[in-house]
Structure 1
Amino acid sequence: MTRTPAQQLAALAAKAARTGLPDELRTDMAGRVVDLIGNSLAALGEEPARIVSTVVRAWGGAAHSTAIGMRARVPAPSAALVNGTLAHSLDFDDTHLPSVLHPSAAVIPAALAVAEEVGARGSALLDAAIVGVEVTCRLGLAGYDPVAGNSVFFDRGQHATSICGAVGAAVAAGMLRGLDEEGLTSAIGIACSMGSGVIEANRTGGTVKRVHCGWAAHSGVVAADLARHGLTGPPTVLEGRFGFLRAFCGDRADVSRLTEGLGDHWETPGVFFKPYPCNHFTHAGIDAALRLRAEGVDPRRIVALTLGVPAPVVHTIGEPYEEKVRPESGYHSAFSGPFTVASALLGGGGLGVFHEDFTDKAAADPARLALAAKCRVVADPRCSALFPLRFPAVLTAELADGTRRTVEALTNRGGPDNPLSRDELTAKFMLNSTISTSREKAERVAESAWALRTAPRVDALVDSLAAALL
């Protein structure tokens, strides 16, 4: 009998749990764990993290897993909720193209919470996270419409990250729980009833989006636990008449993307790291602005800026125009093409622009707002042709003397064609983590995360993470 897509994904997961995955995949995932923990430590002061931690503390429960920023351990689903919220709160988490989702922020918190509870090897944590991210990305690819050049999920106002991430998180948690192929198929089937998230907050405000990855991670752990205790899910849950893809994407889904090259081709290593803590669509514009600045362009001499981007990107970082040139908060400024370009031209910190550029104070800075008001975001045909395999930008500055300077940023930093090195990832981690802890303690966390490939248990990582905040 032909296996359904859910059964084929479950078979891959079960095999990976038994035999392990190649070292190069584990090394890549160790870097993603480093990146995610740094992003999480940087987000501890954010209001959504405080709210979620307060709720989790009130829930109580068995002391099994570490929730970053909380002294007492909590149940694994609760830890996944807190850590997934932290991981996505600053929009600094990695991005898969062309699905345009953030897989690690939902999957790694779920895997880490369960790995700590069961005392898993470091390599088992990495393998579970690799497969969970792979499942998440393939679900996102199945919902990508190549004709429209955009995600069907996003076209319908759905947050693919949280919807697909819940399923990937369930697979990762199920692997660490020791589920067999049948149990993993049910975990997928159960999680497909749990993923949710609408993306309206990107347009008009609200902080709920920051919890989306936390809820996806929480749902994944719960789905795996329910499957472990005998709850079942439909094996045709992904492609069926009333299944996941038809429910979320209608007749625009491509079921073949779920299993094409499965086990031979891995999407996971190609997931883009973020060098800047803002919406990924803004990054190439930042790169271009930084190059203009390095070439000696004086922001005071700029009379107009034109930021050319892929056509589907305009509505995210350029509209509504009034809200993008005057963002209502630091968080919303991270989704503004004009504001991020202005910030890169006027200074920027860390790796080019950093967290200090996306505070409420920075969002109200008259100099940044004045420069942002000179910037128009338009569709550029060259950029549209490369999207969504890349998020390119072309930035043109018109100067007071009548001259024009144009910079093309067609290959994003952090992707497979322009990767961040281990040293650059560690530098990003240190800048992030030292917001909340000392440099010495942060270094121990980074060392423990990079060492996961050979660690007999994940204890060294979670212990160093807990100690970092004492």
Structure 2
Amino acid sequence: MVTHNLAPISQSDPSAGNAANWSPGEAERRIAVHFHQTRYEDIPPATLDFTKCLMLDTIGAAIAGFQAEGATAVADLVTSWGGTPQARIIGRGDMVPAHQAAMANATMARALEIDDVHEQGMLHPTASIVPLALAVSEAAGGITGRQFAEAVVLGIDLAIRIGTAPRAEVAGGRTQPRTQSHTYHIGMLAGAMVAGKIMDLPSGGLQNAMGIAYSQCAGNLQAVAEGALTVRVQQGLSASAAIVSAELARLGVTGAMQSLTGVSGYYNALHGGRCDRAVLIGDLGRRYANEEVSIKPYPCCKHIHTAAAAAENLVREQGIRADDIERVVIHVKNQEYYDLVCRPEGREERRASMFGERGMVHAQMSLPFVVAVALCDGKVSLDRFEAAGRTSDDVLSMMGRIETVMDGGPDDNVLPTPGIVDVYLAGASTPLTSEVRYVKGHPMNRMSFDDVAGKFMDMTDFSGAWFSRDRRRRIIEMIHAIETLPDMSDLAALLVADTSPANS
């Protein structure tokens, strides 16, 4: 795919309206007008239906992460700040300013690594957008389910467009180690547009909001390498910054109008000028990328999922037992994948990383750990990522038998990469092998709304916040029929833990 240097934009792009001579800020202006003008009835029904799945999945992830490390600290902090009571903190019910509620709730949504992912873009498009949209809707009052859905659909689509336009390489000679995170950037940039749409800003105000968001644009991958809780907290910070950006724009504060494509805009500053214009705006309003999102079956980095599914298949189909396994080889097909989930490389270092206050984040980002769990248990469950589960003798022993091999070629520039797992049983010279390309939840192996509802019930069972089954069923039903909801505050009111164990 051709990429374009954006200083200045001048290339012809027929799919973007034959813009041979764009005026400065034209891409941003088109995005802002699209956000301002698009209504619920303009959005394809299939896109709306799938986005309901993403809404339910994200809210379930937030409920599940209610008492996760880091999430409780953020919730305690924003509650202590006080301020105008505008929006609820999920699980707790404390009313705080909208940007503070979004900060807490988006942190929860990312905390257990069970939120959705756009694999080609290597980003989490929904974990900031749904919580911030809910907080702004509750603060505004009287925002209908249709209005909420409009904003969320547009926001997810824009997040994917911004995140995929640089066309990142993950294999071959042009691969470069990533240091920045698209996830947090697009949470601010697209999130500001979502917040501004719910606030009913005019197109110029929306363009200002994105420019103000760009002035706060931050987020990196160092926390992943170190197992720091800021992996999840950055999700909350991006949601909070998005709302603040829209609020400032509403008050007349101006932002850069060429925040994406300007000489010092997002793509030039952070992506070396790489941007595929057709991806960014070429079919804006005619195609929505929402259905490209993968819903996770496992609570870990999405790069790990195909190998985890392959390991599960071996246990289920071959009837192997953990004690019979002599060694395991996991084949890794591109450098992006290897760098993110296969380090540290030493087996003892990998096992040691499961202990201590950083152990959970390391586990969420560890291919050897998750495959070890799948081989020991025949499944991957949330409780294995807690301290007792991730440091158990059986899992640590299995991790010591796992080898990760980087054997991809220069053409393996594709995500998701296939999960290829070879298991050698004691005394065997040839392995039992399983390969999985598309796990359940990928667009090629999609989860239905009922599948996501089942996942929602499982996630909320795990949560330390106690939600009755009746309350959870009502949340599912409300999101399924969100277009009929007269006020989004009705949904927000349901996202508070019950005080008694009735209906369990």
**Shorter-chain TM-score category?**
over 0.9
Which structure has more relative contact order (CA 8 Å, sep 6+)? It is 2
Q: 23, 29, 43: which is aligned to 1:7? A: 29
Among all aligned residue pairs of Structure 1 and Structure 2, give the percentage whose two residues are the same amino acid. 31
Assess, with a 3 A threshold, how the Cα gap between structure 1 residues 407 and 159 changes in structure 2: closer, same or farther. Answer: same
Assess, with a 3 A threshold, how the Cα gap between structure 1 residues 469 and 267 changes in structure 2: closer, same or farther. Answer: farther
Query: 1:42-121 alignment to 2 at 5 Å?
Result: 42-118=64-140, 119-121=142-144
Query: 1:343-354 alignment to 2 at 5 Å?
Result: 343-347=373-377, 352-354=379-381
Q: 217, 227, 242: which is aligned to 1:220? A: 242
The corresponding residue for 1:299 is: 322
The corresponding residue for 1:128 is: 151
- CA deviations over 1:297-355 (Å, ceiling 9, x no partner): 2222211111112222111111112343443323311211111111011115xxx3121
Write the distance in 1 (CA, Å) between the matches of 2:289 and 2:77: 35
Q: 361, 379, 384: which is aligned to 1:331? A: 361
The reply to whether residue 399 of structure 1 matches residue 399 of structure 2 is no
Query: 1:199-210 alignment to 2 at 5 Å?
Result: 199-210=221-232
Native 8 Å contact 2:40 2:150 kept in 1: no
Assess, with a 3 A threshold, how the Cα gap between structure 1 residues 289 and 148 changes in structure 2: closer, same or farther. Answer: closer
- CA deviations over 1:248-299 (Å, ceiling 9, x no partner): 1123443443112211121111110001111111111110000000121222
Native 8 Å contact 2:119 2:302 kept in 1: no
Q: CA deviation at 1:18?
A: 7.7
The reply to whether residue 417 of structure 1 matches residue 444 of structure 2 is yes
Native 8 Å contact 1:150 1:388 kept in 2: no
SS of equivalent to 2:272: helix
Native 8 Å contact 1:105 1:213 kept in 2: yes
What stretches of structure 2 of length at least 5 have no aligned partner?
1-21
Assess, with a 3 A threshold, how the Cα gap between structure 1 residues 150 and 409 changes in structure 2: closer, same or farther. Answer: farther
Give the aligned residue type for 2:421: L
SS of equivalent to 1:417: helix
The reply to whether residue 368 of structure 1 matches residue 398 of structure 2 is no
The reply to whether residue 321 of structure 1 matches residue 345 of structure 2 is yes
Give the aligned residue type for 1:32: L
Write the distance in 2 (CA, Å) between the matches of 1:148 and 1:252: 17
The corresponding residue for 1:439 is: 469
Write the distance in 1 (CA, Å) between the matches of 2:294 and 2:459: 18
Between 251-260 and 35-44, the greater mean CA deviation after superposition: 251-260
Superposition RMSD on alpha carbons, in Å?
Answer: 2.1
SS of equivalent to 1:144: coil
SS of equivalent to 1:307: strand
Give the aligned residue type for 1:26: L
Q: CA deviation at 1:61?
A: 1.1
Native 8 Å contact 1:324 1:333 kept in 2: no
Write the distance in 1 (CA, Å) between the matches of 2:52 and 2:423: 40
SS of equivalent to 1:80: helix
The corresponding residue for 2:163 is: 140
- CA deviations over 1:218-271 (Å, ceiling 9, x no partner): 111111111111111222121111111111112344344311221112111111
Query: 1:245-260 alignment to 2 at 5 Å?
Result: 245-260=267-282
Assess, with a 3 A threshold, how the Cα gap between structure 1 residues 389 and 151 changes in structure 2: closer, same or farther. Answer: farther
Write the distance in 2 (CA, Å) between the matches of 1:259 and 1:28: 22
Give the aligned residue type for 2:250: R
The corresponding residue for 2:12 is: none
Native 8 Å contact 1:80 1:217 kept in 2: yes
Native 8 Å contact 2:132 2:240 kept in 1: yes
Native 8 Å contact 2:138 2:489 kept in 1: yes
Equivalent residue pairs, number:
465
Query: 1:184-203 alignment to 2 at 5 Å?
Result: 184-203=206-225
Q: CA deviation at 1:150?
A: 11
Native 8 Å contact 1:170 1:187 kept in 2: yes
SS of equivalent to 2:495: helix
Assess, with a 3 A threshold, how the Cα gap between structure 1 residues 414 and 138 changes in structure 2: closer, same or farther. Answer: same
Write the distance in 2 (CA, Å) between the matches of 1:373 and 1:218: 41
The corresponding residue for 2:371 is: 341
Native 8 Å contact 2:32 2:204 kept in 1: yes
Assess, with a 3 A threshold, how the Cα gap between structure 1 residues 367 and 134 changes in structure 2: closer, same or farther. Answer: same
Native 8 Å contact 1:78 1:218 kept in 2: yes
Q: CA deviation at 1:199?
A: 0.9
- With normalisation by structure 2, the TM-score equals 0.88
The reply to whether residue 166 of structure 1 matches residue 196 of structure 2 is no
- CA deviations over 1:124-144 (Å, ceiling 9, x no partner): 111101111111111111233
Give the aligned residue type for 2:414: P
Give the aligned residue type for 2:457: M
The reply to whether residue 427 of structure 1 matches residue 451 of structure 2 is no
Write the distance in 2 (CA, Å) between the matches of 1:316 and 1:364: 21
Write the distance in 1 (CA, Å) between the matches of 2:229 and 2:420: 30
Q: CA deviation at 1:412?
A: 2.8
Native 8 Å contact 1:95 1:102 kept in 2: yes
Give the aligned residue type for 1:202: V
Give the aligned residue type for 1:342: A
Assess, with a 3 A threshold, how the Cα gap between structure 1 residues 72 and 149 changes in structure 2: closer, same or farther. Answer: farther
The corresponding residue for 1:279 is: 301
Structure of higher CA gyration radius: 2
Q: CA deviation at 1:176?
A: 0.4
SS of equivalent to 2:88: coil
Give the aligned residue type for 2:445: N
Native 8 Å contact 1:390 1:412 kept in 2: no
Native 8 Å contact 1:81 1:218 kept in 2: yes
Assess, with a 3 A threshold, how the Cα gap between structure 1 residues 17 and 172 changes in structure 2: closer, same or farther. Answer: farther
What stretches of structure 1 of length at least 5 have no aligned partner?
none
Write the distance in 2 (CA, Å) between the matches of 1:132 and 1:337: 31
SS of equivalent to 2:38: helix
